[in-house]
Amino acid sequence: MKASSIKFSSARADFFSTLNQRVNDYFKTKNITRYANAEMKFKTLFMFALYFTPYLLIMSGAIANIWVMAALCVVMGTGIAGIGLSVMHDANHGGYSNKSWVNNLLGYSLNLVGGNAFNWRVQHNVLHHTYTNIHDHDEDISPRGVLRMCPHGEWKPMHKFQHVYAWFLYGLMTLVWVIAKDFVRIVKYHREGLVKKQKADITTEWLILIATKVIYIAYIFVLPVMVLDITWWQALLGVVIMHYVAGFILAVIFQPAHVIDGTEYPLPNDEGRMENSWAIHQLHTTTNFANKNRILSWYVGGLNYQVEHHLFPNICHVHYRDISYIVRQTANEFGLPYKSEPTFIGALKSHAKLLKKLGRKPEPEQHSVAVAA
């Protein structure tokens, strides 16, 4: 079934209309913008500095110790994740600024660190945010090959151990994007008509992808080998360390939001209709975590407020903490779930628990649409 054929229910539409009105009233009453504020602008500079300052220190030649260079690569990895979580993410959702050129410019920060903004917008904004946790439509959960993230996915014997080996694979995420996945995705999205639906020109997107990949490889790998007194394999190892740190951070932030014990995996009926409206579907498939941890929340771009993000992706994340009270209260009034794990460690444990549960060989008659706690 094509994703475009899936239709969400129009029942209980009053929930989201009520919630939307209350959130709009919040910004109007407070007389504040839905977009980036001074805190967000400072964070933007901080995240770019977290990535480029270690790079410039390395490239200056002032650091001769290979272990110090490796440590700086770790810092750069946290910078990549920080840019992705706190800057690029908001910009590519159109939530950073009310000016499209600002969002577009900051959105391309993903290309600056080796990814591709266009592919990300299709995969994340369109497929993940629209069809959250729907098997074969949300690419965040299916297909995963060596990982089984959904009870409707194909089971393989190796999945029995996925709760152990998944953590090692998470670190490869951004490295795989840089090397292969972006090329595979753009071909796939063009074949499936998703490029056309985004009103994009495939030739232009290919040129941007190739040009930015070349620029990235040139400054992150070729230039250090040419300028510094290091071997090619040492430079390559530095790049791998950097991306492994970035990939692991990104994975452990995004996975507990949707692949966690107690989450739901609804399927459309034979006519392609979902049981719930889109907004209510988000409540059933999304989980917050560690909402009282202000330091974590600051670094991860408020994505521990995943419920608020999924309902209002075009609002800058610096406002999620404040509007979360409105979302929780409205969900409670309508008798709807508002899922939240108190701590980050608890969320990771719950994610591991679900990985183990999904790794068991399913019974032939099993057709559950939810993995209950």
Q: Is residue 89 part of a domain?
A: yes
Amino acid found at 352: A
pLDDT number for residue 42: 97
Boundaries of domain holding 203: 3-359
- Provide CB contacts within 8 A for 9, sequence distance 6+: 273, 274, 275, 276, 277
Residue with tokens 């990982």: 147
Q: Is residue 364 part of a domain?
A: no
- Overall pTM > 0.75: yes
pLDDT number for residue 142: 75
| Domain count across the chain | 1
pLDDT number for residue 357: 96
Integer Cα distance of 182 and 39 in angstroms:
32
Q: Is residue 365 part of a domain?
A: no
Q: Is residue 237 part of a domain?
A: yes
Q: DSSP state, 318?
A: G
- Provide CB contacts within 8 A for 322, sequence distance 6+: 26
pLDDT number for residue 1: 54
Integer Cα distance of 278 and 270 in angstroms:
18
Amino acid found at 229: D
pLDDT number for residue 145: 78
Q: Would you give per-residue pLDDT tens digits along the chain (373 residues)?
A: 555 689 999 989 999 999 999 999 999 999 999 999 999 999 999 999 999 999 999 999 999 899 999 999 999 999 999 999 999 999 999 999 999 999 999 999 999 999 999 999 999 999 999 999 999 999 998 766 799 999 999 999 999 999 999 999 999 999 999 999 999 999 999 999 999 999 999 999 999 999 999 999 999 999 999 999 999 999 999 999 999 999 999 999 999 999 999 999 999 998 999 999 999 999 999 999 999 999 999 999 999 999 999 999 999 999 999 999 999 999 999 999 999 999 999 999 999 999 999 999 988 754 444 454 4
Integer Cα distance of 224 and 365 in angstroms:
57
Q: Is residue 370 part of a domain?
A: no
Q: Is residue 369 part of a domain?
A: no
Tell me how far CA of residue 148 lies from CA of 65, 77, 224, 285, in angstroms.
42, 27, 39, 17
Integer Cα distance of 7 and 30 in angstroms:
36
Q: Is residue 285 part of a domain?
A: yes
Tell me how far CA of residue 329 lies from CA of 19, 90, 203, 284, 326, in angstroms.
9, 25, 47, 16, 5
Integer Cα distance of 230 and 362 in angstroms:
51
Beta strands in 111-267 (DSSP E): none
Q: Is residue 368 part of a domain?
A: no
